[in-house]
Structure 1
Amino acid sequence: MNFREELKKNVLIFDGGMGSLLQAEGLKAGELPETWNLRHPEVIRRIHEDYLRAGAEIIKTNTFGANGLKYAADGEFSLEAVVTAAMENARAAVKAAGHGMIALDLGPTGRLLAPMGDLEFEDCVKLYAEVVRIGKAHGADLILIETMSDLYELKAAVLAAKENSDLPVVATVIFDATGKLLTGGTPESAVAVLEGLRVDALGMNCGLGPKQMRPFIRRMIAASSTPVVINPNAGLPHTENGRTVYDIGPEEFAGEMAKILEDGVSLAGGCCGTTPEYIRRLHDLAAGRKAPEITKKHDTVVTSFAGAVRIGDDPVIIGERINPTGKKRFKQALREHDTEYILQQGIAQQDAGAQILDVNVGLPGMDEAAMMTDVIRELQGVTELPLQIDTSDRRAMEQAMRIYNGKPLINSVNGKKESMDAVFPLVARYGGVVVALALDEDGIPADADGRIRVARKIIAEAETYGIDRKDILIDALCLTVSSEERGALVTLETVRRVREELGCGTVLGVSNISFGLPQREIINAAFFTMAMQSGLSAGIINPNNDAMMRSYRAFRALTARDPHCGDYIAAYSNYEPPVPKGYVKAGSQEALRAAGSAGNPGDPGRGGAGAAGASSDENGQPDGLSLPGAMADLALAVEKGLKEQAGRAAELALETAQPLDVVNQCMIPALDLVGKKFEKGTLYLPQLLMSADAAKAAFEIIKSRMAGSGASREKKGKIIIATVRGDIHDIGKNIVKVLLENYSFDVIDLGRDVPPEKIVETALRENVRLVGLSALMTTTVPSMEETIRELREKAPGVKVWVGGAVMTADYAEEIGADAYCRDAMSSVEYAKKILG
Structure 2
Amino acid sequence: MGTMLQNMGLKLGELPEILNIISPEKIIEIHKKYIDAGAKVITTNTFGANEIKLKNSNFTVEEIIDAGLKNAKEAIKDKNCFIALDIGPIGELLEPMGTLSFEKAYEIFKRQIIQGVKSEADLILIETMTDLYEAKAAVLAAKENSNLPVFCTMSFEENKRTFTGCSAASMVMVLQGLGVDALGVNCSLGPKELESIIDEVLEIAKIPVMVQPNAGLPRLCNGNTIFDFSPEEFGDYGQKFVKKGIKIIGGCCGTTDAHIKSLVKNLENIQVKNLNYKSIRGICTPTRTVFIDEVKVIGERINPTGKKLFKEALKNGNMDYILREAIAQVEAGADILDINVGLPEINEEEMMIKVIKEIQSILDVPLQIDSNDPKVIESGLRVYNGKAIVNSVNGEDKHLEQILPLVKKYGGAIVGLTLDDKGIPSNAEERFKIAEKIVNTAQQYGIDKSDIYIDCLTLTAAAQQENVKETLKAILMVKENLNVKTVLGVSNVSFGLPNRGLLNRTFLAASLAAGLDLPIINPIDQDMMDTIKASKVLLNTDKGATDYLKSYNNKDYKIPKVEEFKKESLSNIIEKGLREEAKDATIKLLEQKDPLLIVNQDIVSALDLVGEKYEKGYIFLPQLIQSAETVKESLEVIKNRLSKDSFSQISKGKIILATVKGDIHDIGKNIVKVLLENYGFQVIDLGKDVPKEKIVEEAIKHNVKLIGLSSLMTTTVKNMEETIKALKEVNSNFEVMVGGAVLNKDYADMICADYYARDAKEAVTIAKKIFG
Q: Distance in 2 between matches of 1:60 and 1:294?
A: 27
Q: Distance in 2 between matches of 1:257 and 1:790?
A: 43
Identify the match of residue 414 of structure 1 among 394, 397, 400: 394
Query: 1:804: how far off?
Result: 2.6
Identify the match of residue 312 of structure 2 among 332, 338, 354: 332
Checking the alignment, whether the CA contact within 8 Å between 2:53 and 2:91 is kept in structure 1 is no
Counterpart position of 2:98: 117
Checking the alignment, whether the CA contact within 8 Å between 2:416 and 2:453 is kept in structure 1 is yes
Q: TM-score, normalised by structure 2?
A: 0.96
Checking the alignment, whether the CA contact within 8 Å between 1:19 and 1:779 is kept in structure 2 is no
Q: Distance in 1 between matches of 2:579 and 2:320?
A: 8
Checking the alignment, whether the CA contact within 8 Å between 2:244 and 2:273 is kept in structure 1 is no
Checking the alignment, whether the CA contact within 8 Å between 1:775 and 1:784 is kept in structure 2 is yes
Work out whether 1:669 is the aligned partner of 2:651.
no
Query: 1:718: how far off?
Result: 1.4
2:92 maps to amino acid: R
Query: 1:31: how far off?
Result: 1.2
1:445 maps to amino acid: P
1:86 maps to amino acid: G
Counterpart position of 1:829: 765
Counterpart position of 1:243: 224
Q: Give the direction of change, closer, same or farther, for the CA distance of 1:39–1:721 in structure 2 (3 Å limit).
A: same
Work out whether 1:70 is the aligned partner of 2:53.
yes
Query: 1:44: how far off?
Result: 1.1
Q: Distance in 2 between matches of 1:388 and 1:219?
A: 26
Checking the alignment, whether the CA contact within 8 Å between 2:52 and 2:91 is kept in structure 1 is no
Counterpart position of 1:106: 87
Counterpart position of 1:311: 292
Counterpart position of 1:86: 68
Query: 1:780: how far off?
Result: 4.1
Checking the alignment, whether the CA contact within 8 Å between 2:96 and 2:626 is kept in structure 1 is no
Identify the match of residue 205 of structure 2 among 198, 204, 224: 224
Q: Distance in 1 between matches of 2:301 and 2:422?
A: 30
Checking the alignment, whether the CA contact within 8 Å between 1:722 and 1:749 is kept in structure 2 is yes
Work out whether 1:487 is the aligned partner of 2:487.
no
Q: Distance in 1 between matches of 2:557 and 2:731?
A: 64
In the alignment of these two chains, the number of paired residues is 772
447-456 or 62-71: which moved more?
A: 447-456
Query: 1:99: how far off?
Result: 1.6
Structural mapping, 1:557-576, within 5 Å: 557-576=537-556
Superposed CA RMSD in Å reads: 2.0
Give the SS at the match of 1:110. coil
Counterpart position of 1:757: 693
Query: 1:497: how far off?
Result: 2.1
Q: Distance in 2 between matches of 1:136 and 1:522?
A: 62
User: Once the two structures are superposed, what CA deviation does each residue of 1:251-270 show, in whole Å capped at 9, x if it has no partner?
Assistant: 12222232222211111111
Query: 1:710: how far off?
Result: 5.0
Identify the match of residue 59 of structure 1 among 42, 45, 70: 42
1:476 maps to amino acid: C
135-144 or 817-826: which moved more?
A: 817-826
500-509 or 787-796: which moved more?
A: 787-796
Counterpart position of 1:8: none
Q: TM-score, normalised by structure 1?
A: 0.89
Counterpart position of 2:735: 799
Structural mapping, 1:224-373, within 5 Å: 224-312=205-293, 314-373=294-353
Q: Give the direction of change, closer, same or farther, for the CA distance of 1:127–1:787 in structure 2 (3 Å limit).
A: farther
Identify the match of residue 660 of structure 2 among 708, 724, 732: 724
Query: 1:288: how far off?
Result: 4.3
Q: Give the direction of change, closer, same or farther, for the CA distance of 1:372–1:558 in structure 2 (3 Å limit).
A: same
2:168 maps to amino acid: P
Checking the alignment, whether the CA contact within 8 Å between 2:242 and 2:273 is kept in structure 1 is no
User: Once the two structures are superposed, what CA deviation does each residue of 1:614-671 show, in whole Å capped at 9, x if it has no partner?
Assistant: xxxxxxxxxxxxxxx7xx5211111111112121111222222222222222221111
1:213 maps to amino acid: L
Counterpart position of 1:148: 129
Q: Distance in 1 between matches of 2:695 and 2:269?
A: 53
Checking the alignment, whether the CA contact within 8 Å between 1:111 and 1:117 is kept in structure 2 is yes
Q: Distance in 2 between matches of 1:280 and 1:461?
A: 48
Q: Give the direction of change, closer, same or farther, for the CA distance of 1:460–1:785 in structure 2 (3 Å limit).
A: farther
What is the percent sequence identity of the aligned residues? 48
Counterpart position of 1:587: none
- For structure 1, list consecutive stretches of 5 or more residues without a partner in the other structure: 1-17, 580-602, 613-628
Q: Distance in 2 between matches of 1:435 and 1:783?
A: 56
Checking the alignment, whether the CA contact within 8 Å between 2:232 and 2:262 is kept in structure 1 is yes
Query: 1:88: how far off?
Result: 0.8
Q: Distance in 1 between matches of 2:712 and 2:322?
A: 37
Q: With a CA cutoff of 8 Å and minimum separation of 6, indicate the structure with the bigger relative contact order.
A: 1
Q: Give the direction of change, closer, same or farther, for the CA distance of 1:321–1:517 in structure 2 (3 Å limit).
A: same
Work out whether 1:692 is the aligned partner of 2:628.
yes
Query: 1:813: how far off?
Result: 2.7
Structural mapping, 1:490-505, within 5 Å: 490-505=470-485
Query: 1:794: how far off?
Result: 4.3
Checking the alignment, whether the CA contact within 8 Å between 2:243 and 2:271 is kept in structure 1 is no
Q: Distance in 2 between matches of 1:76 and 1:604?
A: 60
User: Once the two structures are superposed, what CA deviation does each residue of 1:677-727 show, in whole Å capped at 9, x if it has no partner?
Assistant: 111111222221221122221122223333399575431221122233444
Checking the alignment, whether the CA contact within 8 Å between 1:272 and 1:778 is kept in structure 2 is no
Q: Distance in 2 between matches of 1:23 and 1:662?
A: 51
User: Once the two structures are superposed, what CA deviation does each residue of 1:41-84 show, in whole Å capped at 9, x if it has no partner?
Assistant: 111111111111111111111111110012249x8532222111
Counterpart position of 1:599: none
Counterpart position of 1:604: 561
Q: Distance in 2 between matches of 1:698 and 1:802?
A: 29
Q: Give the direction of change, closer, same or farther, for the CA distance of 1:707–1:564 in structure 2 (3 Å limit).
A: farther
User: Once the two structures are superposed, what CA deviation does each residue of 1:754-792 show, in whole Å capped at 9, x if it has no partner?
Assistant: 333332332232222222233334444444344334434
Work out whether 1:707 is the aligned partner of 2:643.
yes
Q: Distance in 2 between matches of 1:345 and 1:830?
A: 38
2:509 maps to amino acid: T
User: Once the two structures are superposed, what CA deviation does each residue of 1:79-118 show, in whole Å capped at 9, x if it has no partner?
Assistant: 222111111111111115x121111111111111122211
Q: Distance in 2 between matches of 1:423 and 1:759?
A: 57
Give the SS at the match of 2:569. helix
Work out whether 1:180 is the aligned partner of 2:161.
yes
2:48 maps to amino acid: G
Identify the match of residue 815 of structure 1 among 743, 751, 765: 751
Work out whether 1:436 is the aligned partner of 2:390.
no
383-392 or 443-452: which moved more?
A: 443-452
User: Once the two structures are superposed, what CA deviation does each residue of 1:7-53 show, in whole Å capped at 9, x if it has no partner?
Assistant: xxxxxxxxxxx111111100111111111112221111111111111
Work out whether 1:474 is the aligned partner of 2:454.
yes
Work out whether 1:49 is the aligned partner of 2:3.
no
Work out whether 1:634 is the aligned partner of 2:580.
no
Checking the alignment, whether the CA contact within 8 Å between 2:494 and 2:504 is kept in structure 1 is yes
Structural mapping, 1:767-778, within 5 Å: 767-778=703-714
Give the SS at the match of 1:188. helix
Q: Distance in 1 between matches of 2:46 and 2:584?
A: 49
Give the SS at the match of 1:722. strand
Q: Give the direction of change, closer, same or farther, for the CA distance of 1:815–1:134 in structure 2 (3 Å limit).
A: farther
Q: Give the direction of change, closer, same or farther, for the CA distance of 1:577–1:229 in structure 2 (3 Å limit).
A: closer
Give the SS at the match of 1:716. coil
Q: Distance in 2 between matches of 1:248 and 1:84?
A: 34
Checking the alignment, whether the CA contact within 8 Å between 2:204 and 2:279 is kept in structure 1 is no
- For structure 2, list consecutive stretches of 5 or more residues without a partner in the other structure: none
Q: Distance in 2 between matches of 1:95 and 1:711?
A: 67
Q: Give the direction of change, closer, same or farther, for the CA distance of 1:291–1:462 in structure 2 (3 Å limit).
A: farther
Q: Distance in 2 between matches of 1:704 and 1:408?
A: 42
1:810 maps to amino acid: D
Query: 1:730: how far off?
Result: 2.5
1:83 maps to amino acid: I
2:199 maps to amino acid: R
Q: Give the direction of change, closer, same or farther, for the CA distance of 1:782–1:307 in structure 2 (3 Å limit).
A: farther
Q: Give the direction of change, closer, same or farther, for the CA distance of 1:171–1:833 in structure 2 (3 Å limit).
A: same
Checking the alignment, whether the CA contact within 8 Å between 1:721 and 1:772 is kept in structure 2 is yes
Q: Give the direction of change, closer, same or farther, for the CA distance of 1:342–1:170 in structure 2 (3 Å limit).
A: same
Counterpart position of 1:19: 2
Query: 1:177: how far off?
Result: 1.0
Query: 1:492: how far off?
Result: 1.6
